[in-house]
Amino acid sequence: MVRLAPIAASLPATVPFVGPETLERQAGRPFAARLGANENGFGPSPRAVAAMQAAVPDVWKYGDSLSFDLTRALAAHHGIRPGNIIVGEGIDGLLGLLVRLTVAPGDVVVTSDGAYPTFNFHVAGFGGVLDKVPYRNDAEDPQALLDRAHQTGAKLVYLANPDNPMGSWHDGAVIEAMLDLLPDGALLVLDEAYAEFAPASAIPDIAADDPRVIRMRTFSKAHGMAGARVGYAIGHPDLIAAFDRVRNHFGVNRISQIGALAALQDGDWLAQVLARVDAARQRIAGIAAENGMAALPSATNFVAVDTGRDGAFARHLVDALAAQGVFIRMPGVAPLNRCIRISCAPDPELDILAQVLPQVMSTL
């Protein structure tokens, strides 16, 4: 018998997301259009690809445990000090470390019902108690999060801006105002995975040294490096330094560090990607309208599409598209689950969606 620790033994054997590769194995064939994981199908910077290729012969070396060059480049990019930044294995890895650092068994963590489930996975894994508030008008509700945090004495308050799975966003001033209304001792976990896609007004003006917030960024989305697993957090130096107590010091491999550094330095490629994503959002909206559905406004690299029906219909639609080789996803909580979520992608994949979707709709 495996002797699990009490917290782990009490948890179900689940994963936050079933990966597309697992679904492909189950179906016995690859997807023709991979539009469900919010990956950047336009790919990484060619400069990043070249830098990673050049680094392959040195893969026998461990990565720099401090991500020294990348950390300093990020600090210069944001106009802050290196001590305000920690690099880790994507936002997912950093969220797990943050929860481990701050949440003891029984501590309350407030989030939105239907928000990013990987954060919830980490809270449960360390014995925290999740308290959820509903979305309001298809967006996370800052006031409801604050109210619940005061009611429960929450240690952490999670908010993604822009939001996944709905693509909605708040003005930066709304986020700034949240900080002044947090209960004493609470920390705002601001997930900014999609920040590069958002309008400038959505990015709050918050000092890197502000102890009330930690901000999470990634190279997975706009920089097209989801498989490299590179993310970073911006926060007060004392909190950032505390990550050294629990992190995997060699968790970010050297090829990923080198690729992320090159990607950060290629602003021209990033601008091209942002333009392509914007065009893809418009095309997805058009495809949705042609099929009697409505795209919600998005500040991300995906579009939430309102089917105009219920969650059961949306689930049938997701499954029917998968059977035809088109991978999309949907929110998991009502009333958000009336929607489907379609990632932005190059035209050949959207061509497939445009061809298959009317066929599937006619059968439902």
* 181 in any annotated domain: yes
Mean pLDDT, residues 21-26: 96
Identify the domain containing residue 237 by its residue range.
48-265
* 3 in any annotated domain: no
74: domain CATH number is: 3.40.640.10
180 with 306, same domain: the answer is no
161 with 257, same domain: the answer is yes
One-letter amino acid for residue 236 of the chain: H
Token duo for residue 350:
């959207």
* 11 in any annotated domain: no
Give 65-75 pLDDT, tens digit per residue. Answer: 999 999 999 99
Mean pLDDT, residues 88-102: 98
Burial of 274 (0-12, 13-18, 19+ CB in 10 A): middle
Final residue belonging to a domain, choices 215, 236, 265: 265
* 124 in any annotated domain: yes
322 with 232, same domain: the answer is no
335: domain CATH number is: 3.90.1150.10
249 with 285, same domain: the answer is no
User: Which candidate, 98, 86, 97, 99, places its Cα nearest to that of 237?
Assistant: 86
Q: Judging by DSSP bridges, how do beta strands 302-306 and 294-295 pair with one another?
A: antiparallel
203 with 334, same domain: the answer is no
Strand partners, 72: none
220 with 112, same domain: the answer is yes
Mean pLDDT, residues 160-170: 98
Residue 1 has pLDDT above 90, yes or no: no
SS3 (DSSP) at 188: strand
218 with 347, same domain: the answer is no
* 6 in any annotated domain: no
252 with 283, same domain: the answer is no
Query: Residue 39 has what pLDDT?
Result: 98
* 168 in any annotated domain: yes
59 with 160, same domain: the answer is yes
Token duo for residue 55:
């680094």
Mean pLDDT, residues 237-264: 98
Q: pTM for the complete prediction?
A: 0.97
Final residue belonging to a domain, choices 265, 287, 309: 265
Q: Which residues contact 183 (CB under 8 A, 6 or more apart)?
A: 149, 150, 153, 154
Give 324-343 pLDDT, tens digit per residue. Answer: 999 999 999 999 999 999 99
Mean pLDDT, residues 128-157: 98
* 130 in any annotated domain: yes
Tally of domains in the chain: 2
137 with 279, same domain: the answer is no
257 with 274, same domain: the answer is no
Query: Residue 210 has what pLDDT?
Result: 98
Final residue belonging to a domain, choices 232, 265, 298: 265
Query: Residue 50 has what pLDDT?
Result: 98
* 7 in any annotated domain: no
Mean pLDDT, residues 172-185: 97
121 with 248, same domain: the answer is yes
